[in-house]
Amino acid sequence: MGLIRKANEDPIGYTPAPMCARLHDLHSHSTASDGTLAPSELVAHASVAGVDVLALTDHDTTAGVEEAGRAAQEHGLLLVPGVEVSVTWQGRTIHVLALRLDSGSAALEEGLARLRAFRDWRAEEIGRRLEKQGIAGAFAGARRLAPGPVVSRTHFARYLVQQGKAANVREVFRHFLVRNKPGYVPGRWASLEEAVGWIKNAGGQAVVAHPARYRLTAGKLRTLLHEFAECGGVGMEVVSGSHSAGDARAMAEHARRVGLLASSGSDFHGPEQAPWIRLGGVAELPQGCTPIWEAWNG
Ligand code: AMP
Ligand code: MN
Ligand code: MN
Ligand code: MN
């Protein structure tokens, strides 16, 4: 389409900016998982922050998508239905984002229900392990702090901070919730192939979340990305709230070599993460990337 429009093409005088010029934040959380804003509050917050296209990608649930979609219509921004799927790959936990899901895929919803069932068992197990360390009531406390269908380690961390067991959430993770610490329970999540299969079944695009955060060697990361592409994955986060500028450049190069599209998202969980993580606070993609939204219309 040319740059000059006929007057009658735009009768109400509103022409959305072209897709490439809009601010995209394609990774965020609500109270449906471990975020602190309800889906509608998250969308209102995104609108104030100048985000044009927001993906809601809660951990292992799409429960917030409908409410977020309604709010997005009111605020005039585009809501991308998504989810962040927990995956176990070579003994590690990897996160795979789904973007642009259609509603009502039985395969995806059944798969996510299985992951949430594991989460429920894991939460009780974390509670039992912490109990042995003399920390009582952590399961009930975390459960109470989780308003939605997902209990996350983040809820345990918030509870332990409330109980004065550590100064902040990061410290709880460091001392209690990671490998070789008393409250750690190894993940038994989806396989890479399952996760990508569910996402494709739901008409979505599969994207590796925050790849630099896994601290893989370059060779191991290449193996992951190639396997992911073979399963039908199409993109990876190049810009992420948990990537440095150097990480983004390195990930851009990986994306280019493996032939994956580039995505960009803050991984926002709530306003209390300011100033480190803000909704819409994402740098531009480095040169040489193909943005995943380039082929999106509307
Ligand atoms: P889960 O999926 O329940 O195992 O919890 C993973 C979530 O915990 C991530 O999505 C982050 O929100 C949070 N998380 C993981 N590691 C840390 C950390 N070191 N500091 C703060 N939050 C973390
Ligand atoms: Mn999280
Ligand atoms: Mn993640
Ligand atoms: Mn996330």
Question: What is the pLDDT tens value at each position of the chain, 298 positions in all?
Answer: 334 444 444 445 556 778 878 999 999 999 999 999 999 999 999 999 999 999 999 999 999 999 999 999 999 999 999 999 999 999 999 999 999 999 889 999 999 999 999 999 999 999 999 999 999 999 999 999 999 999 999 999 999 999 999 999 999 999 999 999 999 999 999 999 999 999 999 999 999 999 999 999 999 999 999 999 999 999 999 999 999 999 999 999 999 999 999 999 999 999 999 999 999 999 999 999 999 999 998 6
% helix / strand / coil in the chain, to the nearest 5? 45, 15, 40
**Is the pTM above the cut of 0.75?**
yes
Residues 6 or more apart whose CB falls under 8 angstroms from that of 238 comprise 248, 251, 252, 255, 262, 263, 264, 285, 286, 289
Instruction: Report the DSSP pairing between strands 205-208 and 53-56.
Output: unpaired
Do 24 and 237 touch, CB atoms closer than 8 A?
A: no
Q: Which ligand is nearest to the CA of 154?
A: 1
Which residue carries 């406390």 as its tokens?
Answer: 141
Do 58 and 30 touch, CB atoms closer than 8 A?
A: yes
Q: Answer whether 240 contacts ligand 1 (Cβ < 6 A).
A: no
Return phi, psi of residue 96, to 5°: -120, 120
Distance CA 145, CA 113 (A): 20
Q: Which of 14, 30, 36 is nearest to 79 (CA)?
A: 30
Distance 14 CA to ligand 4 centre (A): 33
Distance 204 CA to ligand 1 centre (A): 24
Which residue, by CA, sits nearest to atom 8 of ligand 1?
Answer: 154
CATH of domain 20-104+204-295: 3.20.20.140
Q: Where are the domains of the chain?
A: 20-104+204-295
Residues 6 or more apart whose CB falls under 8 angstroms from that of 132 comprise 182
